[in-house]
Structure 1
Amino acid sequence: MEQPQSTDPEPAVRLLPWTSPEGEPCCLLPGTGDGYLSRLADSAEARQLAVGADVLAVTRQVLDDPLSPHAELRYAGLRLAECPGAALRVAESRGMRLTGDGSHRGGA
């Protein structure tokens, strides 16, 4: 008996929210999406986005205070500069999974 062909697209390779020690992107091969590494990546993505929201809130407080010391402004700016990279990586990973595009374009 012949097996019916699935019309569902094959799941895309998942871009993970971390890089290798050499700075190269890390990807997870398709699977069920509920394995240990998938759950770890989900948790890391959620943490990265939460940290970004916290940094944004603190930075707004620092910028709203006209007497904020230069060191505080610099630290807030440095931390704020890190956050878009993490958020863009999460967005790229999620977008790849939504479109089924397993290719990685680099970037964040």
Structure 2
Amino acid sequence: MPPRLLPWTRDGKACYLSTDGGSDSVLSRLADDMEDVQLAMAGEVQEAAAKVLGDPMSPHVEVRYAALRLSECLREVRRVAESRGARIPVPDDEATDDGPSLPAEAFG
């Protein structure tokens, strides 16, 4: 199993997890929980930013803050997408069925 890209960085550098426990390890579950929090926060920030950006009378400082938070969330969501994409199993070339190669839970 290749190392997993974690949803946090250290000094701006990517952190990876290599474990024999797979997705059942404590750090894997912590990373899953952190990803869920980051995705939820991104949704909340997007909703708040939409209100600020939708108001033509929003002060410059509020627009700037909204843009900074959106940028931060986008960086985190991209890291989550990269990490999850790397963990999608590669289909077997010799597979004969045309069905999905992921478990139903992956479509969640």
State the partner residue of 1:90: 80
C-alpha separation in 2, matches of 1:57 and 1:13: 34
State the partner residue of 2:104: none
Runs of 4+ in 1 over 2 A off after TM superposition: none
Q: 2:34 aligns with which of 27, 44, 50?
A: 44
- State the shift of 1:81 in Å: 1.1
TM-score, with length taken from structure 2 = 0.75
Q: 2:50 aligns with which of 32, 55, 60?
A: 60
C-alpha separation in 2, matches of 1:95 and 1:73: 32
The number of residue pairs the alignment matches comes to: 89
- State the shift of 1:66 in Å: 1.6
**What is the CA RMSD across the aligned residues, in angstroms?**
1.4
C-alpha separation in 2, matches of 1:67 and 1:75: 15
Deviations 1:30-59 (Å, cap 9, x if unpaired)?
323111101110011011111111111001
Instruction: Give 5+ residue unaligned stretches, structure 2.
Output: 91-108
- State the shift of 1:98 in Å: 0.6
- State the shift of 1:15 in Å: 0.6
- State the shift of 1:83 in Å: 1.2
Instruction: Give 5+ residue unaligned stretches, structure 1.
Output: 1-10, 101-108
